[in-house]
Each structure stands twice: as C-alpha cells, then as structure tokens.
Amino acid sequence: MDKDSQKTGPPAPDPSIMPTYSLATRAMHADDSLNSTSDVAPAMHLSTTFRYSHDPDKLIPIADDEILKEGSTIPQAHIYSRLSAPNTTRFETILSSLLHGHAITYSSGLSAFHALMVLLNPKCIAIGDGYHGVHGVLGIHKKLSGLKQADLHNPESWDAIGLGEGDVVHVETPLNPTGEAYNIQHYADLAHARGAYLTVDATFGPPGIQDPFAHGADFVMHAGTKYFGGHSDMLCGVLATRPDKDGWKQWVQLWQERLLLGSVMGSLEGWLGVRSIRTLELRVQRQSRSTTALVQWLSVSLVSTNGDASTVVTQAVVERLQHSSLQSGEWLIKQMPNGHGPVFALWMKSEKLARSLPSKLRLFHHATSLGGVESLIEWRRMSDDKVDPRVLRISIGVEDFEDLKADLLQAFEVLRAEQ
Ligand SMILES: Cc1ncc(COP(=O)(O)O)c(C=O)c1O
C-alpha cells in the first residue's frame, strides 16, 4: 500500500498555528505531524536501532548538523534510541508545546537535574529545601567539581560564596513536601542581576497550573514521573529550555550530552507518556480543585469554634497544614492563576498519629511519590530522614472529593477513639 493512502483523516494542523490552541487541544494534537500511519492511537515503536536510508545521497551521519534543522527538536531520522526514538520524540514534541520551550526527556527527574548540572557546570548554586534527591545529586557535583552552595532565601550568602556569571539559582515551586509556593520572578531578578541562571523545578505545578518561563525562568525541570506520567507507572524526567534561539542551542547541547550520559527514557515510557499527557489538563484541574477544597475544609476545621463533631475530631489529631492555597500575594495570583498544585502537607499532633493515619484510610494508598490518578499519603519520614516526624504528605488523585473528605474524617475519628 502506498504510504500516503494510509494517512487518512484531516491533515495535521500547521505547527505555526499550534500555539494559538489551548493547552488541552495541544496535548491532543501537538504531535499530529509525527503520525506515520493512519492509527488514531499512537503506534508503539520499541526498536533500539533504525534502518539507514537506502539512497546513498540521503545518508545523514550522526554528527552532522543536518540531523536537526535549525530551531527544530525533531531529528530528520532516527538512528539509535540512545539518541532519539519515535515515541519519545512524539512525547517531547507535545511537552515542548505545553511547556512553551524546547523539551527533552530523561530516564528520571533526578537524571534530568543531573544533566542540567552537567550542561551548566556552575561553580556556585543557591538552593533551598525541597526534594532531598536533588540535594543528593548536588552532593555528587560537589565531589566532582567543588561546587559551592548557598541558601536560596539569603542572597547575602550567595554573594559570600561569589555566586555570579553562569552560576545557578534553583527554585523548587511548589515545594516538596509542603506544597508552598515561591515567587519565581523575584528569584529570577536576583539571579539575573548577578548573571546567573534561574532554574525551576516545577514538578508540583505542571502546565495549566504555572508557566515558569513567563516569570523569568531560564530552565524548567519536571519529574515527569509525577503529573506527566500521571498513573504511577513510568519514571521520567523533563528539562525545557527557553523557546528562543539560545534556548534551542542549549537544547541541542543537552541532546548531545544525553547521548553520552545515556540517561535516555525508555521507548515504552515514551509511548506511555504520550498516552498520559493527553489527559493532563483534565486530571490536574480536578486534582487541583479537590486539593484546594480539602485544604480549605481542614484549615477552617482547625480554627473553628462551632463545636461540630467533625471540627472536634480534626482538632484532636491534626496540628496544622501547609499548601500554596493558604498563602496570599499578588505574585501568587499571577504565578498560579488557575489554581494550586495537588499536594499538601499535614502536621499531626504527634509522631504516633502521623505513623498511624495512613493505616486508617481506605482510599489513600500509603506510598511515596505523587501526581498519579490515585490519592497517596506518605508518612514522610519513610523516605526523608530530615523531615519533622509528624509530617504526612498528601497527593490528591481524581477520586470524588466528598469520598476523600469522608475517608479522612473517618480516619481521624478512629485515631481519636484510640487515643
Ligand atoms: C520536586 C521533585 N523533583 C525531582 C524529583 C525526582 O524525580 P524522579 O523520582 O523521577 O527521579 C522528585 C521526586 O519525588 C520531586 O518530588
């Protein structure tokens, strides 16, 4: 059969008009031009190696600049899957559209962060709390290069270590595990005044919630394992560079270095990624709404004096909670105009209560990670030995809000009865 006759249906939208479509539409169609068959559901390509052209004049050696057209992140040909592969390229094409930059994937969020540090090779970095694994990666870079570290929230400490041209200010927002937000533009201004890059780990605030490039970020990172995967079944890391020419050059360097680091995401994950990202907006909107409503309910319960049974029971076991919806500020409304990330933290009245709450719940799995369709709760001490032992991290899934609320309440009741 002739190849074109297999490609039925409407032509792929002109890529130049793609940015005018909404996020939900781009998640569905940004990769249409990469359809090589008439399948509506993307085909799965697991090959690690790809046949070269049979036409000697069309052979493009791997090191040729021609393999990538200026400004494009779609290789002219696939050669070997450590360089590129069809499912992954499709996924990256959608991610570039959703992140408003040039996106590249990695085998995990941490390998993406490692690749970013390899690319920028800073002498100094300013960083706050946040995901402990990122600090572990920095430990490796300190060993390799003598990288110096300062406290993100104390710019005087940046100057004390000489943070300047080509160095890095790294902001994780919203923050793991509390879900509190930081002002990206504020840190971008401080970084740029010193000639440093602002890198943002936006894992907890996926597209639809926030766009760090719109607030001065130079690089955006995601643990794609979380909301992009969305179903707790794939590891993935994502970096995005700015959409301009310099950003494309940085992307090309990341692409060339990923070939050598070998930290490429598997082809199966690329396929899963495309399947999952189609519903990103639906999932995250619902997760965000439910989270904000739960946080609202809990925070009102903690200060209420109405004497309701639910208030009394909540006050008996819960000390406090944290989430960006409890913060205020014009910058926050600008940065997250459509809602908040779907993770928050709960401080119980004691370590014993924090250890016990997960076992009393029916709808929340007690497990690490976040961002999936299933609600998860984690007694955070299980994976982070530096965290307050009374802290639980809660990642809200797509279950019904009233069911989740009722489940939390019945668990509080059981804990209170046991006290
Ligand atoms: C904020 C943040 N960044 C990075 C990572 C690392 O991602 P991965 O587990 O895919 O390596 C995580 C993992 O939980 C995270 O929460």
Domains and CATH numbers, the chain: 19-277 (3.40.640.10), 280-418 (3.90.1150.10)
Whether 172 is in the pocket of ligand 1, judged by its Cβ within 6 Å, is yes
Whether 176 is in the pocket of ligand 1, judged by its Cβ within 6 Å, is yes
Whether 361 is in the pocket of ligand 1, judged by its Cβ within 6 Å, is no
Decide if 198 contacts 187 (C-beta within 8 A): yes
**Rounded to an integer, what distance in angstroms lies between the CA atom of residue 192 and that of residue 167?**
10
Q: Whose CA is nearest to atom 9 of ligand 1?
A: 109
**Rounded to an integer, what distance in angstroms lies between the CA atom of residue 278 and that of residue 188?**
31
pLDDT average, residue stretch 305-313: 94
Peptide bond into 19 cis (omega under 30): no
> Of 104, 189, 179, 232, which is closest to residue 342 (Cα–Cα)?
179
- pLDDT tens figures, 178-225: 999 999 999 999 999 999 999 999 999 999 999 999 999 999 999 999
| Residue 1: band (very low, low, confident or very high) from pLDDT cuts 50, 70, 90 | very low
- pLDDT tens figures, 266-279: 999 999 999 999 99
Query: What is the number of the ligand 1 atom nearest to the C-alpha of 204?
Result: 1
Q: Does 10 have pLDDT greater than 90? A: no
Q: Does 159 have pLDDT greater than 60? A: yes
**Rounded to an integer, what distance in angstroms lies between the CA atom of residue 388 and that of residue 351?**
9
H helix or E strand, kind and range, residue 190 = helix 184-193
Q: What's the confidence (pLDDT) of residue 8? A: 62
What per-residue string of b and e applies to 357-375 under the rule 16 or more CB within 10 Å gives b? bbebbebbbebebbbbebb
Query: What is the number of the ligand 1 atom nearest to the C-alpha of 225?
Result: 10
pLDDT average, residue stretch 157-184: 98
DSSP state letter for 176: T
Please give the distance, rounded to the nearest whole angstrom, from the Cα atom of residue 134 to the centre of ligand 1. 8
| Residue 137: band (very low, low, confident or very high) from pLDDT cuts 50, 70, 90 | very high
Q: What's the confidence (pLDDT) of residue 67? A: 87
**Rounded to an integer, what distance in angstroms lies between the CA atom of residue 411 and that of residue 359?**
8
* Beta-bridge partners for 237: 106, 223
- pLDDT tens figures, 381-410: 999 999 999 999 999 999 999 999 999 999
Whether 75 is in the pocket of ligand 1, judged by its Cβ within 6 Å, is no
Whether 131 is in the pocket of ligand 1, judged by its Cβ within 6 Å, is yes
> Of 361, 391, 397, which is closest to residue 378 (Cα–Cα)?
391
Please give the distance, rounded to the nearest whole angstrom, from the Cα atom of residue 325 to the centre of ligand 1. 22
Please give the distance, rounded to the nearest whole angstrom, from the Cα atom of residue 236 to the centre of ligand 1. 9
Coil, helix or strand for 94? helix
Please give the distance, rounded to the nearest whole angstrom, from the Cα atom of residue 67 to the centre of ligand 1. 32
